[in-house]
Structure formats: structure tokens, C-alpha cells
Amino acid sequence: MSEFINGLRAIVGDRHAVTRKDALKRFTEELRGRYQSDCMGVVFPGSTEEVSRVIRFCAAHGMAMVPQGGNTGAMGGTVSTPEQLIVNLQRLDRIVEVDRVNQTMTVQAGCILANIQEAAKDAGLLFPLSLGAQGSCQIGGNIATNAGGINVLQYGNTRDLVLGIEVVLADGRVWQGLNRLRKNNTGYDLRHLFIGSEGTLGIITAAVLKLFPYPGGRIVSLIGVETVSAALELMVSMKSASSDRLTSFELMSQRSVETAVTHMAQQRNPFDRFYPWYILAVVDSTEPDPQLRSRIETALEQAWTDSIVRDAVIAESESQSARLMLLREDIVEAQKFLGGSIKHDVAVPISCVPDFMDSAYRAIRDYMPEAIPYPYGHLGDGNLHFNITQPPNMDREVFLGHWKTINTLVHDIAHHYHGSFSAEHGIGITKLDEMEKYKSETELDLLRDIKSLFDPHGILNPGKVIR
């Protein structure tokens, strides 16, 4: 094994091949702590050429590899075993080019998402992918998992924000697919095979991203409603009032807001009471538009008159906007104060969200009456995090022992409403059983055929996405 490690060091340099157990810990610790992970070492290539040489070297020795970005995934997508090598791309962190005319940015895979957002802003442009881990997640991982976030309603998932990618294949060949074209109808669109493939078909090393005009005007409002159905009615009216410039429409349950207000020092309830559901709505425009704000205010006033809305506040400044938006982020962190949590990342057609919520609440109540539903999510695109927190008097590990049963309850309901058991978090190893349960045999066969074609020896992130 020392000979193998020495071969890797000859490629990436002595400092960039790590095998000491104490130094490996932060690369093998899984976000939720569900899985015990280990590896025989971590290498940090500094270029696409080094990634290619590492893969060729590993392929020649039959060594399986686990590609890794910021290690912020929630589905065990970078869990490794002692016989596997982690290929971490953090050194590939260069923003290669910002093209203001073409409105594109070419970046290496190890770029931190927040740095990409800031570079776009410096150029007067917007890269709209936005999620809780943006200060540490890397764009290669975002692409490999087809990350979602809060702005999907207006801009789409990561898949919709990528024009081209560069990928190193399982035999070390490099596909130079850094295309900056909006139109390119020349055969199969290979990039879409790699986007969302979680490193099982190739290692993404660079990408061309779409940029957009930076919003000159932003209207952020927090709204209290009684029902999810009322929230959907409000969404329709706000889309119309904003001329379809609604960027985010985030749903938060009363329990989640109460928990954030209780446990997060910077939070408070902007209303004089708590409501069953809260909506964080964001409308963006390319320039300040007082008439747009007036239309949003009128829409909210009419919704209040029609008993759709119970209360609402519209931010008067950037700092107030940031404070309202922080509430959505803080409810995720605040859930940890309630103990163990069984999390879900489902999607259903938007019109089915109220029925899904009713059915899921009922199923959990029937199965474990003292469990605490803690739902929130992206109502604008039907992506819901229907999380369940442990009953107050139940041991955490006992509660987590119900993981499989509760997952089945929630995922079966999502499936009933023609939904998905994974909307934005990916599959990893956590949802392999669901793949086999909910996907047809034809689809599974096609997925296995694709995996076999691109990685015939199964050395790229084995055991993830598809068995």
C-alpha cells in the first residue's frame, strides 16, 4: 500500500496525499452522523490533468475512488470505506472567467458557492443558486447532486444553470465540454448525464455557469396564513401581481417558526401571535420599481380582505429583508434543539401539496401520536422537507430506530400523489432502497446500463445512486 500512496504523491505532491488517521477525520465525517466512514487516504489534485493522472493510476491498480467537494451532502454520497480513496477537489478553486456580455462564468469544481455568488455580484450579475451550505459547499458537488435551493421557482435547479462541464472519465480521459452556447443541437447532450450523477459516471472538474442581471429591486415579505391551500391561493395572486417575477415562495410551519424564535437568539416573531403557516415571499426585479411594490401591497391587502392572509409584513430595507430571510435559514438549525430528526426531501405537484400535507400529518399521528412534524420547504416548486422530530419523552436512538418505517409512510404518500422521494438532496446510499421500490425495472436497467458503459469496472463512487 505504501508503494501505491507513493505513486499518488508523485502525481499530486507529498503535501497533497494524506493518510494520517487524525488528518482524515474531517473528510470522513458524514454530515448527519448516520454512517461510519473511513478511507485509505485523501488526495487533493491541483488541476484537471492531475485528476486525470490520479484516475488512470487508480484504474490501473483497481482502486475505487470517492469524489468529494465540500462534504456537505445529506445522503451519504461521499461515504467511503477503508479500501477506497477520496479524491477531494478543494484545490481546484479558481474562477477562470466572468463574461459579462455572454453572462457566463467559467469555474473550477472546487469553487465555494458563496465565492461564485460574490464574483458574479462584483460583475453586476447574479448566480442564483442559493442554499444553506453555500459558505462551504463546492460547485462541483452542487452540479453532481443537481442542487436546488430557494430560487428554483424563478431560475430552476442547478441543471438549468449549467451550460457546459469538463469531466474526467473512469479511464482518465477528459471530456472538454465547457460549452458557453445557449443553443447547441449537436447530438446527445452529455452534460445532463453527469449533472445529478453524484460522481458515479465521472469526476466534474470545471463548469460554465449561466449568470443573470443582478436584481436592482427586491421585495421580501413574511406572511401568516391558516392553511396550505390559502398559501397556494396567495402564490397565484402574487405571481400575477409581480408579472411572474416571484423568485422564492417558502413555506414554514408554526412549529418550525416557534422553535427558531425560541432557540435562535437573533430571531423574533414579527407578528403579535403565531400562525399555523408562514410564507417567505421574494420578488426580484432588474431595477427598483415602486409600482411593483404597490402591486404586491395591493395583492396582500386583497388577500387579507378575502381571508386568505391573516397578517403580513414587507421589509422596508435591505437589513430587514436579510432578517426576514434569515428566519428561513434558522428554522433548519433550530430543529437540532428538539432532538433526533427523521428528515425527508420529497416533491409533489404543487396543486397536491395541501393533500400531501394532510395525509402525511395523519399518517404520522396514527403511527406515533407524540412525534412532532416539522415541515418546511419550497412551496413554489412543490419540494417539501417533511421532517419529523422525536417525541419529548422518547430516547433519541429509540426514535431513530423508526427511521425506515416513517420514511416508508412519507415516501408512499408522496408516490401516491405522483411525487418523488428525492427532490434536491440526491440518492447517495441513503435512498438506494427507495430507488428499487419506486423506480420501474426498465428505468433501473437503463440506469445500470449507463453506469456500466461509463464505469465498467465500478471504480467511481461505487454503491451510490444505483446498486
Give the residue-averaged pLDDT of 82-89. 94
Give the residue-averaged pLDDT of 417-435. 95
CA separation (Å) from 401 to 34, 344, 390, 398, 430?
12, 16, 11, 5, 15
Residue 222 CB-density burial (10 A; 0-12 exposed, 13-18 middle, 19+ buried): buried
Give the residue-averaged pLDDT of 231-254. 94
CA separation (Å) from 309 to 175, 237, 249, 320, 324?
52, 12, 14, 21, 17
- Cα–Cα distance for residue pair 57/48, rounded to 1 Å: 14
Residue 287 has pLDDT above 80, yes or no: no
Residue 31 has pLDDT above 80, yes or no: no
**pLDDT tens sequence across 110-138:** 999 999 999 999 999 999 999 888 999 99
**pLDDT tens sequence across 410-425:** 999 999 999 999 999 9
CB of 279 within 8 A of CB of 379? yes
- Cα–Cα distance for residue pair 132/150, rounded to 1 Å: 9
- Cα–Cα distance for residue pair 182/90, rounded to 1 Å: 29
Most confident option among 23-32, 249-258, 265-274: 249-258
- Percentage of residues of the chain with pLDDT beyond 90: 86
Output the pLDDT for position 1. 66
Output the pLDDT for position 35. 78
pTM here is 0.92
Residue 36 has pLDDT above 80, yes or no: no
Output the pLDDT for position 314. 96
252 falls in which pLDDT band (50, 70, 90)?
very high
- Three-point CA angle 402, 407, 410, nearest 5°: 125
Residue 462 has pLDDT above 90, yes or no: yes
DSSP assigned state of 453: H
Give the residue-averaged pLDDT of 97-103. 97
**pLDDT tens sequence across 148-157:** 989 998 999 9
Output the pLDDT for position 286. 81
Helix (H, G, I), strand (E, B) or coil at 460: strand
Cell 470517492: give the residue: 66
Bigger pLDDT: 387 or 31? 387
Residue 33 has pLDDT above 80, yes or no: no
Residue 300 has pLDDT above 80, yes or no: yes
447 falls in which pLDDT band (50, 70, 90)?
very high
Residue 261 has pLDDT above 80, yes or no: yes
Give the residue-averaged pLDDT of 350-355. 98
Residue 283 CB-density burial (10 A; 0-12 exposed, 13-18 middle, 19+ buried): buried
**pLDDT tens sequence across 366-408:** 999 999 999 999 999 999 999 999 999 999 999 999 999 999 9
Please, what are the domains in the chain?
A: 2-88 (3.30.43.10), 95-213 (3.30.465.10), 217-335 (3.30.70.2190), 339-429 (3.30.70.2740)
Give the residue-averaged pLDDT of 261-289. 92
**pLDDT tens sequence across 133-183:** 899 999 999 999 999 989 998 999 999 999 999 999 999 999 999 999 999
Residue 30 has pLDDT above 80, yes or no: no
